[in-house]
């Protein structure tokens, strides 16, 4: 018998590592073509205004300018879930920064000069900057034509309002639940709009050739979605659009769906055979790409004297910005996840996606979950303290377990949250906390611990599909053709490990392709922490298909039944007699029989995956026996020190424990978690987009939009629980986004445990904390 070594659970080195550290990796910004043109975009200086007149004549006359376009040149609306967005504003602008006109010129400098020569006359309209005002009757309508917009069936826009989606949960009669409760606790929480801040700003090159075929090189998470959306709006077949994805310098959701590609399309239509490049400036990146939606939450919770949650009523009002083509699904995801990790018999949730005259809300790492858990997880701690219970004890009484139902009425199984909580409790060294803290203020520093849980499912259409092609080369090495994107999360490495494991060839024989929609296998999008899970399953099936073909040739070669053969380390061998073996390279392109004739052919395996049995939520109740592919649970516990006199929070230690089903690559899983913790910490303490009363973003740069630096890094202790997922590859669950979700509420809970102050609005700036200390203690 051959002792096989598994690639699963092994810290294989990153496939993209050497290219990236040596500078060999190519990003879209690195690409240059002959006769390339450069685009610049003129952007609105009003949050909401009618466009009375645009005069582009001076710009058009500037030497070096090749094309000028405005909204009239391409008025088709596009979008992923709700088609509400045009590449350039048509008739009116809906946020400060919206594209109004575009220029392509022989240099960036000339394009910029041309932009400044365009005259636009506006008539200012009243702006909606607060979604709570925007959802009221009589508020200025941002999209008066909303009722005519195309959308997917799973979202519910309200005609003649600013509500682009209203997702409802009605689980039992919540009033009945409150009647059965001994205590009712209410709370309000808020998160501002924030930015993804990828290192590489959005960059694209678009070319339309003489036959009308588009080629798009883009720093993007969703090549297939880009192709689909553009094909629909251009009304051309998908064979006429090719999307390539070189390396992507960070996405975090900002590069999902169509982004900066869209404004280049009308320019490309006017200029055949000219690649047009657009590199988003950092200022534009902050304001004019997707941002994380703001959200106002109101929670009312009914509990018994014994500390059992009976009922929860939750209203979430999302500050979704000017275009909600993607944001509508964030609202939906938060809605169906609104039980958090808890087993709550009676629930009522209303999640409203509301148009505002602000930057476009879109997906940001774990979308909906960070925002919602900021509210729920603080609220749970608050209730525990009010009941005089330890926050962990209270949670253990109420968490979901096998057999519990969630918000959508789904009966859960393989629930690992209890194990996560207990492990985190142990790793942080939790000591019982009951009632209001009595801090010793005289030393100037107060230290305390806090904890928060989280849950998340991939937020995607029920039928979001993955596929993979495994193609052998002459020498036995393998091309794995997929359209998943490597956005830093390690997808290429994990998928290569899976492929090697299944094929029985060394991992370094696997070359993972970069997306090219003309040739690589379909992938819905690289979002939702779904690649290892969904594409991973497709790769397993493709590899097994290819392996079966190798075995068939082996069976023919050795004259033994296929079942008696296996593949390992690049050889097909007879299991009972491993000395009888043939190198994969000798059969990769077909078998040569003893008489010299050929048999079979080049080995190509294919695999596809769609999560099965995902059933749509009921429109009125949000109920579904299985509304999502799977859930992943996690916990973070933090240890913080607060400087009483300045209000500054120093996060000393973060413990993260996630039940990810199966750890495919321990080093990468750990690194992904560290990154999530840092991003979570950054949003907890620093990040906020600030606007003036006219809707202009005040901090579109790293000078005044701060993100955590290396100096802020806490000690991080990371551990994983492995409760296998029935249809996960080797049991693996998605978790790439989940790792930033509970950091902020855990810090907020620790702040309460330190000083008895609760700050309901993100971020927890030193100034806010100091103010709260002053108010509470008068010092």
**Cβ of 548: how many Cβ atoms within 10 Å?**
12
CB of 522: closest distance to other proteins in angstroms? 38
CB of 222: closest distance to other proteins in angstroms? 29
Q: Which stretch binds other proteins (CB under 8 A): 373-381, 558-566, 593-601, 699-707?
A: 699-707
The rounded Cα 560 to chain-centroid distance in angstroms is: 49
Q: By C-beta, is 112 or 231 nearer to other proteins?
A: 112
Q: Would you say 39 and 276 are in contact if contact means Cβ atoms under 8 Å apart? A: yes
Q: Which stretch binds other proteins (CB under 8 A): 238-246, 542-550, 653-661, 760-768?
A: 760-768
Question: DSSP letter at 514?
Answer: P
CB of 769: closest distance to other proteins in angstroms? 11
Q: By C-beta, is 1 or 703 nearer to other proteins?
A: 703
- Per-residue burial over 60-69, b if 16 or more Cβ lie within 10 Å, else e, is eebeebbbbb
Binding to other proteins by residue 556, rule CB under 8 A? no
Q: By C-beta, is 1 or 710 nearer to other proteins?
A: 710
Cis peptide before 763 (omega within 30 of 0): yes
Q: By C-beta, is 273 or 709 nearer to other proteins?
A: 709
Task: Give the number of residues in contact with other proteins, rule: CB under 8 A.
Answer: 26
Using CA atoms, how far apart are residues 133 and 141, in angstroms rounded to an integer?
A: 11
For the segment 132-171, give every residue that binds other proteins (CB under 8 A): none
Binding to other proteins by residue 209, rule CB under 8 A? no
Q: Which stretch binds other proteins (CB under 8 A): 1-9, 513-521, 578-586, 641-649?
A: 641-649
Binding to other proteins by residue 579, rule CB under 8 A? no
- Per-residue burial over 488-506, b if 16 or more Cβ lie within 10 Å, else e, is bbbbbbbbbbbbbbbbbbe
Binding to other proteins by residue 771, rule CB under 8 A? yes
For the segment 663-692, give every residue that binds other proteins (CB under 8 A): 686, 690
Q: By C-beta, is 580 or 648 nearer to other proteins?
A: 648
Q: Contact with other proteins (CB under 8 A): which of 593, 645, 776, 777? A: 645
Binding to other proteins by residue 119, rule CB under 8 A? no
In the Cβ-directed half-sphere of 711, how many Cα atoms lie within 13 Å?
A: 2
Q: Contact with other proteins (CB under 8 A): which of 60, 76, 108, 473? A: 108
Q: Which stretch binds other proteins (CB under 8 A): 189-197, 504-512, 539-547, 761-769?
A: 761-769
Q: Contact with other proteins (CB under 8 A): which of 89, 421, 708, 740? A: 708
Query: For the chain, how big is the Rg over CA atoms in Å?
Result: 27
Question: DSSP letter at 238?
Answer: G
Question: DSSP letter at 73?
Answer: G
The CA-atom distances, in angstroms, between 604 and each of 481, 512, 516, 673 are 11, 15, 18, 35
Q: Which stretch binds other proteins (CB under 8 A): 58-66, 522-530, 598-606, 700-708?
A: 700-708
Kindly state the tokens that stand for 687.
């990040």
CB of 545: closest distance to other proteins in angstroms? 50
CB of 647: closest distance to other proteins in angstroms? 8
Task: Show the binding pattern over residues 478-517: x = contacts other proteins (CB under 8 A), - = does not.
Answer: ----------------------------------------
CB of 711: closest distance to other proteins in angstroms? 4
CB of 88: closest distance to other proteins in angstroms? 21
Dihedral of alpha carbons 363, 368, 369, 373, sign: positive
For the segment 8-47, give every residue that binds other proteins (CB under 8 A): none
- Per-residue burial over 36-48, b if 16 or more Cβ lie within 10 Å, else e, is ebbbbbbbbbbbb
Binding to other proteins by residue 710, rule CB under 8 A? yes
Binding to other proteins by residue 712, rule CB under 8 A? yes
Q: By C-beta, is 195 or 404 nearer to other proteins?
A: 195
Could you give the 3-state DSSP secondary structure of residue 511?
Answer: strand
The CA-atom distances, in angstroms, between 679 and each of 220, 358, 448, 639, 683 are 20, 23, 21, 17, 6
CB of 541: closest distance to other proteins in angstroms? 47
Q: Contact with other proteins (CB under 8 A): which of 30, 55, 175, 704? A: 704
**DSSP class per residue in 442-480:** TTSEEEEEEEEEEEE---S-TT--EEEEEEE-TTS-EEE
Binding to other proteins by residue 203, rule CB under 8 A? no
Q: By C-beta, is 199 or 711 nearer to other proteins?
A: 711
Q: By C-beta, is 182 or 704 nearer to other proteins?
A: 704
The rounded Cα 649 to chain-centroid distance in angstroms is: 27
Q: By C-beta, is 240 or 770 nearer to other proteins?
A: 770
Q: Which stretch binds other proteins (CB under 8 A): 12-20, 565-573, 627-635, 766-774?
A: 766-774
CB of 321: closest distance to other proteins in angstroms? 21
Helix or strand holding residue 395 (H, E): helix 391-398
Q: By C-beta, is 215 or 699 nearer to other proteins?
A: 699
Helix or strand holding residue 557 (H, E): helix 536-558
Could you give the 3-state DSSP secondary structure of residue 67?
Answer: strand
Q: How many helices (H) and strands (E) does the chain have?
A: 18, 30
Q: By C-beta, is 574 or 707 nearer to other proteins?
A: 707
Q: Would you say 338 and 347 are in contact if contact means Cβ atoms under 8 Å apart? A: yes
Q: By C-beta, is 188 or 704 nearer to other proteins?
A: 704
Helix or strand holding residue 670 (H, E): helix 666-685
Q: By C-beta, is 31 or 766 nearer to other proteins?
A: 766
Binding to other proteins by residue 776, rule CB under 8 A? no
Binding to other proteins by residue 711, rule CB under 8 A? yes
Binding to other proteins by residue 112, rule CB under 8 A? yes
Pairing of strands 478-481, 510-512: parallel
Q: Contact with other proteins (CB under 8 A): which of 1, 199, 579, 703? A: 703
The closest alpha carbon to 609, from 512, 482, 696, belongs to: 482
In the Cβ-directed half-sphere of 420, how many Cα atoms lie within 13 Å?
A: 34
Q: By C-beta, is 158 or 770 nearer to other proteins?
A: 770
CB of 698: closest distance to other proteins in angstroms? 6
Using CA atoms, how far apart are residues 438 and 777, in angstroms rounded to an integer?
A: 11
Using CA atoms, how far apart are residues 528 and 658, in angstroms rounded to an integer?
A: 16
CB of 102: closest distance to other proteins in angstroms? 16
For the segment 306-345, give every residue that binds other proteins (CB under 8 A): none
CB of 690: closest distance to other proteins in angstroms? 6
Angle, helices 536-558/491-503, rounded to nearest 10 degrees = 30
Q: Which stretch binds other proteins (CB under 8 A): 225-233, 458-466, 705-713, 726-734?
A: 705-713
**Cβ of 231: how many Cβ atoms within 10 Å?**
16
Question: DSSP letter at 233?
Answer: H
Using CA atoms, how far apart are residues 397 and 393, in angstroms rounded to an integer?
A: 6
Binding to other proteins by residue 715, rule CB under 8 A? no
Angle at 67 between CA 66 and CA 70, to 5 degrees: 165
Using CA atoms, how far apart are residues 537 and 413, in angstroms rounded to an integer?
A: 20
Q: What is the largest CA-CA distance in the chain?
A: 96
Q: What residues line the site for other proteins (CB under 8 A)?
A: 108-109, 112, 645-646, 648, 686, 690, 698-699, 702-704, 706-712, 765-767, 770-771, 774
């Amino acid at each position: 018998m051959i002792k096989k070594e598994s690639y699963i659970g092994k810290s294989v080195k990153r496939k993209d590592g050497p290219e990236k550290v040596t500078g060999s990796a190519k990003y879209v910004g690195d690409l240059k073509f002959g006769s390339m043109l450069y685009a610049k975009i003129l952007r609105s200086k009003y949050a909401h205004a009618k466009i009375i007149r645009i005069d582009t004549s001076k710009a058009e006359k500037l030497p070096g300018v090749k094309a000028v376009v405005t909204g009239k040149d391409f008025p088709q609306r596009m979008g992923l879930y709700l088609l509400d967005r045009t590449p350039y504003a048509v008739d009116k602008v809906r946020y400060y920064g919206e594209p109004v006109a575009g220029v392509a010129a022989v240099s960036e400098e000339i394009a910029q000069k041309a932009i400044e020569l365009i005259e636009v006359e506006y008539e200012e309209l009243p702006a909606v900057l607060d979604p709570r005002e925007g959802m009221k009757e009589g508020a200025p309508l941002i999209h008066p034509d909303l009722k005519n917009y195309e959308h997917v069936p799973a979202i519910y826009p309200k005609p003649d309002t600013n509500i682009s989606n209203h997702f409802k949960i009605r689980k039992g009669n919540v009033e009945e639940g409150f009647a059965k409760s001994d205590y009712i606790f209410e709370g309000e929480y808020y998160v501002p709009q924030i930015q993804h801040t990828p290192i590489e700003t959005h960059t694209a090159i678009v070319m339309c050739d003489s036959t009308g075929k588009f080629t798009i090189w883009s720093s993007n998470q969703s090549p297939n979605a880009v192709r689909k959306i553009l094909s629909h709006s251009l009304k051309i077949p998908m064979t006429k659009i090719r999307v390539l994805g070189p390396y992507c310098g960070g996405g975090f959701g900002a590069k999902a769906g169509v982004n900066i590609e869209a404004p280049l399309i009308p320019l490309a239509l006017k200029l055949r055979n000219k690649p047009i490049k657009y590199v988003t400036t950092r200022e534009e990146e902050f304001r004019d790409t997707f941002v994380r939606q703001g959200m106002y939450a109101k929670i009312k919770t009914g509990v018994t004297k014994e500390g059992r949650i009976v009922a929860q009523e939750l209203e979430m009002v999302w500050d979704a910005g000017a275009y909600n083509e993607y944001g509508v699904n964030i609202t939906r995801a938060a809605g169906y996840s609104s039980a958090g990790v808890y087993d709550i018999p009676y629930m009522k949730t209303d999640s409203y996606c509301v148009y505002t005259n602000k930057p476009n809300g879109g997906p940001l790492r774990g979308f909906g979950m960070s925002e919602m858990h900021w509210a729920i997880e603080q609220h749970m701690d608050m209730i525990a303290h009010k009941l005089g219970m330890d926050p962990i004890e209270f949670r253990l009484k109420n968490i979901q377990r096998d057999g519990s139902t969630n918000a959508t009425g789904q009966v859960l199984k393989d629930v690992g949250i209890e194990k996560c909580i207990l492990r985190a409790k142990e790793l942080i060294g939790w000591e019982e906390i009951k009632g209001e803290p009595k801090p010793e203020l005289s030393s100037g520093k107060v230290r305390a611990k806090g904890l928060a849980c989280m849950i998340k499912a991939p937020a995607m259409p029920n039928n979001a599909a993955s596929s993979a092609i495994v193609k052998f080369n002459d020498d036995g090495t393998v091309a794995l053709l997929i359209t998943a994107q490597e956005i830093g999360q390690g997808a290429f490495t994990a998928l290569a490990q899976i492929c090697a494991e299944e094929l029985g060839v060394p991992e370094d024989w696997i070359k993972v392709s970069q997306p090219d929609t003309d040739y690589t296998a379909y992938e819905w999008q690289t979002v939702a922490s779904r690649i290892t899970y969904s594409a991973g399953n497709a790769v397993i099936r493709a590899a097994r298909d290819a392996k079966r073909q190798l075995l068939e040739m082996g069976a023919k070669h050795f004259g033994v039944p296929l079942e008696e053969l296996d593949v390992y380390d690049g050889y097909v061998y007879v299991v009972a007699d491993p000395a009888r073996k043939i190198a994969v390279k000798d059969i990769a392109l077909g078998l040569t029989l003893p008489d010299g004739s050929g048999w079979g052919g080049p080995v190509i395996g294919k695999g596809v995956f769609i999560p099965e049995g995902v059933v749509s939520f009921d429109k009125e109740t949000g109920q579904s026996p299985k509304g999502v592919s799977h859930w992943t649970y996690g916990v973070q516990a933090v240890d913080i020190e607060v400087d009483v006199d300045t209000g500054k929070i120093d996060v000393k230690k973060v413990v993260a424990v996630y039940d990810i089903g199966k750890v495919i690559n321990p080093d990468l899983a750990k690194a992904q978690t560290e990154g999530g913790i840092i991003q979570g910490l950054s949003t907890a303490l620093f990040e906020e987009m600030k606007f003036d009363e006219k809707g202009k973003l005040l901090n579109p740069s790293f000078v005044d939009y701060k993100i955590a630096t290396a100096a802020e890094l806490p000690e991080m202790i990371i551990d994983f629980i492995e409760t296998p997922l029935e249809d996960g590859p080797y049991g693996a669950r998605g978790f790439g986004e989940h790792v930033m979700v509970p950091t902020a509420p855990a810090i907020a809970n620790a702040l309460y445990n330190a000083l008895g102050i609760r700050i309901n609005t993100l971020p927890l700036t030193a100034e806010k904390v100091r103010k709260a200390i002053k108010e509470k203690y008068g010092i």
